[in-house]
Amino acid sequence: MKFLDEYRDGELAQQFAREIHRVTTKPWTLMEICGGQTHAIVKFGIDELLPEEITLIHGPGCPVCVTPLEMIDKALEIATRPDVIFTSFGDMLRVPGSATDLLSVKAAGGDVRIVYSPLDAVKLAEQNQAKEIVFFGVGFETTAPATALAVYQAAQKRLRNFSMLISHVLVPPAMEALLLSPNCRVQGFLAAGHVCAVMGFEEYFPLAKKYRVPIIVTGFEPLDILQGVLMTVQQLESGRAEVENQYSRAVRREGNQPAQELLKKVFKVVPRKWRGVGEIPKSGLGLKDEFAAFDAEKKFGVVENRVEESADCRSGLVLQGQIKPHECPAFGVKCTPEHPLGATMVSSEGACAAYYRYRRLPDLIAAK
């Protein structure tokens, strides 16, 4: 397929891998931010082409994984109400809350629907005036503009039966939180290409400078990731710590400005809890006061119940790169994609789920 096969070419991948081997002289630890990148790395086996000196840590960039349990419980509470049509992106439906998940709420009679865009939820609200339509707005800067547009449209249309449960998160504050952690091993970042397509990469310059860490805006196909790794290693080997753009076919330095303006119009920056990490200041988006009527939490008066994560789950350590998924004692035993204990096993883009799905056998894991 055009614009895809070129980036999955086996021979070119080997050439990149040889070049990475050639330039690497010391051990380096890199983190790919985005769950999409993690998934591609494990699915295509990209890390197996890298020299032993290079360790890839799988970052917190899976929006489904980092959505806090409390928020999922709120979603479940709202979705159970008989007057509600609850809408969300598909992979959010399988994520377990503390007692059940949205698919089970649906099986038990709740009206839970998959939508491909929050704008579809606005349409549903127009078509079903007697029902309350709630959209579960999850994701990074990539999906936030669509959520913002939906709220904006709903306001223009004066819809009173539409609201959103918002759990949007921002990438740069999470990167900074990781860098500030005393256990941080990350020496270079592959930044999430699609986040940068929206936000540009101006935000990364202060981070690269302050923490002396190379940040390479990277795409999602095997050759993108290999080139991103190569560019990071080249910087590390030559003692540089700069922001570079590997994904120039999709990302401009200033990003998508109309999308950013829309975000500013609808959202304010708020503190947000990340599942597996904890609360990070200024790391989330919440509705501005003038759009408060669309806030499902307020509308339905759902209260936050503090819930305990499973004591067996080590996803926080996985997200910080202190252990690999298979080093967790619960991995594949108590914790599987069908019965996930924590953040990184819940979505197909979580590091534990990717390891489970593609290389849960001891000999495959031993290969890297």
Interaction site with another protein (CB under 8 A): 1, 4, 8-10, 13-14, 36, 42-46, 48-49, 63-64, 89-94, 103-104, 106-108, 114, 116, 138-140, 142-143, 194, 222, 337-339, 347-349, 356-361, 364
Query: In whole angstroms, how close is the CB of 13 to another protein at the nearest point?
Result: 4
| d(C-alpha 135, C-alpha 147), whole Å | 9
Q: Which two tokens stand for residue 259?
A: 């999308």
Query: In whole angstroms, how close is the CB of 222 to another protein at the nearest point?
Result: 5
Query: In whole angstroms, how close is the CB of 221 to another protein at the nearest point?
Result: 10
Are 275 and 65 in contact by the 8 Å Cβ rule? The answer is yes
- CB nearer to another protein: give 141 or 203: 141
Query: In whole angstroms, how close is the CB of 6 to another protein at the nearest point?
Result: 12
What is the arrangement of strands in the sheet containing 188-192, beginning at the earlier edge strand? 54-61, 28-34, 188-192, 215-218, 243-245
| d(C-alpha 295, C-alpha 160), whole Å | 11
Are 197 and 11 in contact by the 8 Å Cβ rule? The answer is no
| d(C-alpha 204, C-alpha 261), whole Å | 19
- CB nearer to another protein: give 187 or 227: 227
Q: What are phi and psi of 56, to 5 degrees?
A: -100, 125
- CB nearer to another protein: give 78 or 346: 346
Query: In whole angstroms, how close is the CB of 336 to another protein at the nearest point?
Result: 9
Query: In whole angstroms, how close is the CB of 100 to another protein at the nearest point?
Result: 9
Q: Which residues contact 132 (CB under 8 A, 6 or more apart)?
A: 81, 83, 84, 85, 161, 162, 163, 299
| d(C-alpha 320, C-alpha 186), whole Å | 9
- CB nearer to another protein: give 190 or 213: 190
Which H or E element spans position 223?
A: helix 222-237
- CB nearer to another protein: give 116 or 182: 116
Query: In whole angstroms, how close is the CB of 235 to another protein at the nearest point?
Result: 24
| d(C-alpha 144, C-alpha 279), whole Å | 19
- CB nearer to another protein: give 236 or 313: 313
SS3 category, 345 = helix
| d(C-alpha 80, C-alpha 68), whole Å | 19
- CB nearer to another protein: give 181 or 310: 310
- CB nearer to another protein: give 108 or 303: 108
- CB nearer to another protein: give 214 or 219: 219
| d(C-alpha 103, C-alpha 101), whole Å | 6
| d(C-alpha 41, C-alpha 57), whole Å | 11
Query: In whole angstroms, how close is the CB of 238 to another protein at the nearest point?
Result: 27
Query: In whole angstroms, how close is the CB of 278 to another protein at the nearest point?
Result: 22
